[in-house]
Homo-oligomer: A and B are copies of this chain.
Amino acid sequence: MSDSLKLFEQELISYLPKEDGYINTVIESMRYSLTAGGKRIRPMLVIEFAKLCGGNEEAAMPFACGIEMIHTYSLIHDDLPCMDNDDLRRGKPTNHKVFGEAAAVLGGDALLTLAFGTVLSERSVTLNGYEKCARAARLLADNAGAEGMIGGQIIDTESENREVTPERLRIMDSKKTGALIKASCLLGCICAGASAEEFKAAEDYAENIGLAFQIVDDILDVTSDEATLGKPIGSDKENNKSTYVSLLGLEKCRELCDELTNKALSSLDIFTADTSPLRSLALTLRDRTS
């Protein structure tokens, strides 16, 4: 683990409220999912874009923690029986399996709320000033809300067992996973006081890796099914959801991933500072096997 990520892990849990004998359950629910072994892609994007645009890591940390809290809450609520009804997440029991549904709903709500409290915390304001903190929290609200991530989730919920057009799939993914990935890159830019050109480059990078990320997910879904279950390619394992693979075919999807990743790499060309961490990240996301 990089030094940045070690610092991030420490700072992340430092924002949790202290247990007082009354509210322990909700804090344990929050901590369980926050520390359940995420890849921390979003915080890395915040930190790396902040550094690339001349900002500092310490100031970027509260923004990185805030976006990871939002990502984590969305997984807790997504796993609930009334949503995807998942028993396992990253090989561990899902939050509601451990704490019950009420504490999972409340733990998720509390993480979403704490995300804003963290971005706007005393520490964050001391390091970033009121204006950057307010802009960061607003960006988070816009991208995590009904027009961003939550919008993607409602489209997903309503896409089961029906025909999905490529346009609908693109809009769903740009909201469901794309919005938070874009917000991560732009939070780094806000923290560093980036130029308009740098914001634009970050947005291009984010849009390309965001879409590539989703397509890789779809590829892995079918290739892992194929490898382990012998299912035909293109059939989603749990329901009749359309995916990039079912719409475009496996080969075309692999080509598209290469193309998108190359575009993401090109968007970094305007920077004079070291872009290698962000280049590695784009390639790692393309080549991952899980």
Q: Is A248 an interface residue (CB 8 A)?
A: no
Give, as a whole number of angstroms, the nearest-CB distance from A83 to chain B.
Answer: 5
Q: Is A153 an interface residue (CB 8 A)?
A: yes
Q: Which of B77, B130, B140, B155 contacts A105, CB < 8 Å?
A: B77
Which of A21-29, A227-235, A262-270 lies at the interface?
A: A21-29
Q: How far is the CA of A25 from the CA of B157 in the complex (A)?
A: 10
Give, as a whole number of angstroms, the nearest-CB distance from A78 to chain B.
Answer: 9
Q: How far is the CA of A155 from the CA of B137 in the complex (A)?
A: 29
Q: Is A220 an interface residue (CB 8 A)?
A: no
Which of A49-57, A117-125, A238-246, A274-282 lies at the interface?
A: A117-125
Is B137's CB under 8 angstroms from A23's CB? no
Q: How far is the CA of A30 from the CA of B154 in the complex (A)?
A: 13
Contact-size category for A: 35 or more
Chain B residue nearest to A27 (CB atoms) is: B146
Q: Known contacts A105-B83, A137-B120; is A110 also within 8 Å of B150 by CB?
A: yes
Is B145's CB under 8 angstroms from A110's CB? yes
Q: How far is the CA of A140 from the CA of B168 in the complex (A)?
A: 35
Which residues of chain B are near A196, meaning CB under 8 Å? Answer: none
Is A154's CB under 8 angstroms from B82's CB? no
Q: Is A283 an interface residue (CB 8 A)?
A: no
Which residues from 139 to 183 on chain A have a C-beta closer than 8 Å to any C-beta of chain B?
140-142, 144-147, 150-151, 153-155, 157-158, 168, 171-172, 175
Q: A68-81 interface mask toward B, CB cutoff 8 Å, 1 = contact, 0 = none?
A: 00000100010010
The interface of chain A, by Cβ under 8 A from chain B, is: 17, 22-23, 25-27, 30, 73, 77, 80, 82-83, 100-103, 105-106, 108-110, 112-114, 116-117, 120-121, 125, 130-131, 133-135, 137-138, 140-142, 144-147, 150-151, 153-155, 157-158, 168, 171-172, 175
18 pairs, A vs B, C-beta closer than 8 Å: A17-B151, A23-B155, A26-B150, A26-B154, A73-B109, A80-B105, A82-B100, A82-B101, A82-B102, A106-B153, A109-B150, A112-B112, A113-B145, A113-B150, A114-B146, A116-B137, A116-B141, A134-B137
6 further contact pairs, Cβ within 8 A, besides A110-B150, A131-B134 = A23-B155, A25-B158, A82-B100, A114-B141, A117-B141, A117-B145
